[in-house]
Amino acid sequence: MDILYQDDRIVVAVKPVGVLSTDEPGGMPELLRAQLHTDCIRTVHRLDAQVSGVMVFARSRMAAALLSQQIRERRFTKEYLAVLCGTPSQPSGILTDLLARDPQRRLTYVADTPSPNAREARLSFATVDSSDGMTLVRVRLHTGRTHQIRVQFASRGLPLLGDIRYGSKADCSAALWSYRLAFTHPVTGEAVDVTCPPPCEFPWDQFNIKKAE
């Protein structure tokens, strides 16, 4: 496991593609317990199994509760890099939709009218680079809905490269990378700000990732 930061209360690590972020057999908490020789690793936020990048885990019940509170109060910054099939109509902007969930099909979709199942989803994005009909964007989440980034772009005819579930036909993993996390340390109160670029492999190697800095 690639550990980016650790102390006795939190650990920031890179989740690989295909690994669950939740506390299940073979999931990130189990792998981190084995590597760090510790009993307490708690998940406080999630990434889809096919999505990789930076995650923070709590190493105590108190740290987990305080980090979860920051997420609920939207004081926890999450930024991603995504490769879109196509080009947005504007180089930057804010996307706002009502997203609903179909639990039987395990799909999220944009709803036309408000309902108990439809919740507001909002993100901001900025174009970083483009290459061969693809666009690299940096995305900041303002809400945390299931498959939010994937669905909000796909609904505008811009599916994420490799995201077959929502419209891409490319034969690769969904091109979504958890790039940056910023939050307040649950014990010291100091600012923690961690970034990690994606690996130098397709499709990330098609772009100048340094422009995202």
State the catalytic residue, choosing from 48, 129, 132, 193: 48
Cα dihedral 162/210/67/125 (nearest 10): -60
Peptide bond into 203 cis (omega under 30): yes
Q: Which amino acid is at 107?
A: L
DSSP state letters, 7-25: -SSEEEEEEPTT--SSSST
Q: Is 70 helix (H, G, I), strand (E, B) or coil?
A: helix
CB atoms within 10 A of CB 169: 10
Cα angle, residue 151 at apex, residues 89 and 168 outer, rounded to 5°: 80
Place of tokens 């990434």: 47
- 48 part of the active site: yes
Distance of CA 20 to the CA centre of its chain: 13
Strand 107-110 with 77-85, pairing: unpaired
Active site members: 48
